[in-house]
Each structure stands twice: as C-alpha cells, then as structure tokens.
Amino acid sequence: MNFSERLASLSGKPDIIMIITDQERATQHFPDNWEKDNLKTLTFLKQNGFSFDRAFCNTCMCSPSRSTLLTGLYPAQHHVTQTLTEGGKYSPGEVTLDSTLPNVARMLASNGYDVHYRGKWHVSKGADGGSPAPSDIAMYGFRGWQAPDAGEDTAPENFGGGFANHDGTYIQQAIDFLKNARELRAQGKGKPYCLILSLVNPHDVLCYPRGFQYGYDDNFLNGPLTLPQTVNEDLVANGKPAAQAQVKTSAGLGLGLLDTPEKQTNYLNFYGNLLRLIDTEIGFFIDELYKEVDGSKLADQALVIRLADHGEMGMAHGGMRQKAFVAYEEALRVPMVFSNPILFPETANYKGTQQLASLIDIMPTIAAVTNAAPPEGLRGTNLLPLLDEDRPVQDAILFTFDDTKASAADKASVVKAANRIRCVRTAEWKYTHYFDALGGYPDEFELYDLRDKEALEYENLAHNPAYIEIRMQMAKLLEEQIRQKLSIHPESFNENEFAEWYQQQG
C-alpha cells in the first residue's frame, strides 16, 4: 500500500503530535552510532517512522523560525524577524506574531480538530511586554497552554533543565493531555486532536560557562564528543563574511569565553548530554502514547512529527557556537521525523530520504495529511510524495536571516558588517549573500560545494575563478527563489536586470 492507502486505514482523521526541541541540530560530527546509543527515543521514532535526513530550518533564531513553522510563511511575510526580548532599549519595537495570520491551529480547527499547545512559545508577548498569559496564546487558536513561557534568554529561571526544569513540567502537561484524550476516547467522545509539545533543551547549552552551576553538575561536561575538524579555522584568512568572526567574539563577551580546547570540549559534551536528557524526557511522553489500554494505543492513531527550530554550531568553523549570522549546515540542518507504527511499520524497506525538506514545508504537509484546506499564500512544499517515492519534490531550500539584534535587547546590530543573509541550498551547492540593508557595509558572499556528503564548508569558493559559472547559476537561482518566496505576490524575474546587477558585485 502507498502512504495514502495506509492513512485511509486509520479509524478517522489522524491525530497530530508535533514535538519541537530548541537548538537541536541533525546529528553531525559525532562518533559513529552516537545517536543510536544515546538518543533512544529519536531512534525509536525513526524505526517506527520516516526520516528526512536533509531537513533544514528556513531562518535561524527562535522567534523567527517558530513563527515560520506555525504559519508556513517566511519572516518577510509574518514579520517576526527578531528574537523577542523584554526590558531592553529595542524590546518595545520588536514585531510579534500577528494573531490574525493563518496558522496551523486555525487550519486544523477549521477541519474539526481540537488544537492544544504545551511548552515554550516565544513568538508573542503579554500586554505588558513581558511573558504572555494563556489568554494571549488562545488568541492564536491554541487551547490549554499553561504559563510560564521559558527558554527565551540566559536567565537560570528560564532553563529547560537545571533547577527550573521547565521541560519536565511541559512533558508532564503533555502526558496529562494524553491521559485525558484516552479517557474521552473510552467514553466515545472527543475530536481528533493536534498537540504541539514545545521544549527548551538543548537550548540550555548557552549557560556554559556562565550560569552552568544553576542545576547542572560537572558530569554534564563529560562524554565522548571531540572537537570538529574546523574548530581552528581562521575565518578571516579563509575569506568568510566578517559577521562570523565578530559574532564569535560577541558570544565570548556575552556568554563567557571558550578560549581553551578543554572549555570547548566541555561545551560540546554539555550539548551532547542535553540532547540525551531531552530525548529521555520525550521518551516518557512516547511511552504514554504507546501504552496499551483495553487493547488499543493512542500511538496507532497519532502522527508524531519530531523536529527542531534550528541547529547549533557546536564549535565548528573557528569555535563558533549558537546560530546567528551563519548559514552553515550545523546551524541549518535539523532532525525531521514522521512516526506512526501503522503508517510506517518497522519492517518497511523505505525508511528515509536524502531529498531536500524544510520547516516551511510542515504546514502544507499537515494540510495534505489531514485533508484540511491550506491557507492561501503558503510558501512551502507538500512532502507527502516523498513518503512513497525517493524523488525530489523541490530543487532548492531558501534560508533567510534578518535578526540583526540576535537577542541583544540594547543593540540594533550585534555586528558591524553585512548582517542579513539570503541563502539558497540545492542538493549539491550552497550560495549565500550577506548584505546590510542600510548600505553601510559591503556585500559578502559564500559558495560551497556540497556534492560530498561529508563536505565541511571550509573553502569559500565564491571568489575562485574556476567556479564563476556555478556562482552565476546559484546567484540567479537565489534571485528567483527570493522573488517567488519572499514577495507578498510572486514576481516575474527579469534576467537582464539581474545580470546587470550581478556584474556590479564583488
């Protein structure tokens, strides 16, 4: 049977469970079998699911990426370009997600779903400019959210783990939701549901070395992870955009220096242990989902969508961390797994794909799975054909970055360089254009050859004469993607105008 036939075999519309982690990159640069040995829940979901192994975020930083995931739109359309802060000079002017925009909650509610949200929000604020109230989240169509929000900054009281342990609370809220759903089903009541479970970790990695002591002990710094090959890269000598070296320096000042191999290794193993911790906690929820009661399991009716909002540099490219002002694979590639024991039996031969997918594709894909009417103007691609046949459904992924403050509430820009990014990634190449919208700093470019799956994006080929034709092709593709995906209404593409502009670039 194909996927549509298997979907039709379920008893009614499938329940949808979306599990979002914060700052979890697709497994990269780690020892062989590390994921299998340490991320037992993710491994289980893959065994009973389908993995998109070349999945990407379409923008970095929490608020913009989460807004894209919830709306199926780029920041150019939903306007959440900055990570939301509070109490700073620029905090009051930050644009929050418009509650009147179409989103996944409204789409599914219109199709008969009971839509709930538990966990980290971070796409809007309360009336006082601080954390939202449950009534604020309800304005977006999500039911059941419980304060507080968490993971918005480096404050220990907002940690996912540690003494605050917000993730533990969110997991228990989600487990309670499943128990209630099971009781309603047993009574012959209840609509199909969508539950979004949004978690903080491994975002707590930003508390090392400062703030680490608030609930984490030294054992969290131990592990088998070693530094990536590009840890000692000289970004300036390698011709990388100036913003990269600058944001590395800024992170050292704001989060604490990682100026020795020991500290860098500690950071990386802390990250690995946070991945293991949150995977274990998700496992408690999955155990409840798979619990058999009176001969049935909620898991049989639920499509679990497991993903993250963006990745983490993890000491790659000169010892960078976090995800700002870059378009490297470490920051962009995220886990994306669809899981259900009926739709994706463990014995199936076809369990994953290397074809391109991204977070903006989730909205149209959920619409197709649930037979909901998708809102007009969605910019993503329905991924369902990939579940039956390993053939591309799109030729390129568009990534944008406009978060010039990068969580710094008192600065208009963290770097004094081209500070915004437009990037296009195909199966074989990546082309990145850095620019300053105010025109104060020169444009900068990157071109990387990704034909080798182990490519490290070490050598910037943008100014290598041997790749002038490839660069021209990728620049043209980027312009086409921008006009088609970022405009309110897709625009026609004038090749002559583009060629004239391109010849003026460095």
Average pLDDT over every residue of 132-155: 94
Alpha-carbon distance values, 64 to 79, 130, 197, 287 (Å): 8, 18, 18, 32
Give tens-digit pLDDT for 293-336: 999 999 999 999 999 999 999 999 999 999 999 999 999 999 99
Strand segments, DSSP code E, in 200-301 are 292-293, 296-297
Helices 261-289, 40-47: inter-axial angle, 10-degree rounding? 50
| Mean pLDDT lowest among 15-19, 39-43, 212-216, 354-358 | 212-216
Give tens-digit pLDDT for 433-446: 999 999 899 999 99
| Sign of the CA dihedral running 80, 82, 85, 87 | negative
Nearest to 176 by CA among 285, 78, 270: 285
Higher pLDDT, 130 or 146: 146
**What's the CATH class of domain 3-202+278-313+321-391?**
alpha beta
Indicate the CATH number for domain 420-503: 3.30.1120
Confidence of residue 487 (pLDDT cuts 50, 70, 90): confident
Give tens-digit pLDDT for 43-102: 999 999 999 999 999 999 999 999 999 999 999 999 999 999 999 999 999 999 999 999
Helix (H) or strand (E) holding 61: none
Confidence of residue 502 (pLDDT cuts 50, 70, 90): low
Backbone angles phi, psi at 126, to 5 degrees: -80, 175
| Spans of all domains in the chain | 3-202+278-313+321-391, 420-503
Q: Is the pLDDT of residue 498 over 70?
A: no
Q: Is the pLDDT of residue 492 over 70?
A: no
79: tokens are 């306007």
Give tens-digit pLDDT for 222-277: 999 999 999 999 999 999 999 999 999 999 999 999 999 999 999 999 999 999 99
Alpha-carbon distance values, 94 to 22, 83, 88, 91, 417 (Å): 21, 8, 10, 6, 21
**Torsion of Cα atoms, 184 then 187 then 191 then 196, to 10°:** 20
Give tens-digit pLDDT for 387-445: 999 999 999 999 999 999 999 989 999 999 999 999 999 999 999 999 999 989 999 99
CB-based contact 338:49 (threshold 8 Å): yes
283: DSSP letter: H
**What is 287-329 written as a DSSP string?**
HHHT-EETTEEGGGGEEEEEEES----TTHHHH--SSTT---H
Q: Is the pLDDT of residue 506 over 70?
A: no
pTM reported for the whole predicted model:
0.96
Q: Is the pLDDT of residue 339 over 70?
A: yes
Give tens-digit pLDDT for 173-210: 999 999 999 999 999 988 999 999 999 999 999 999 99
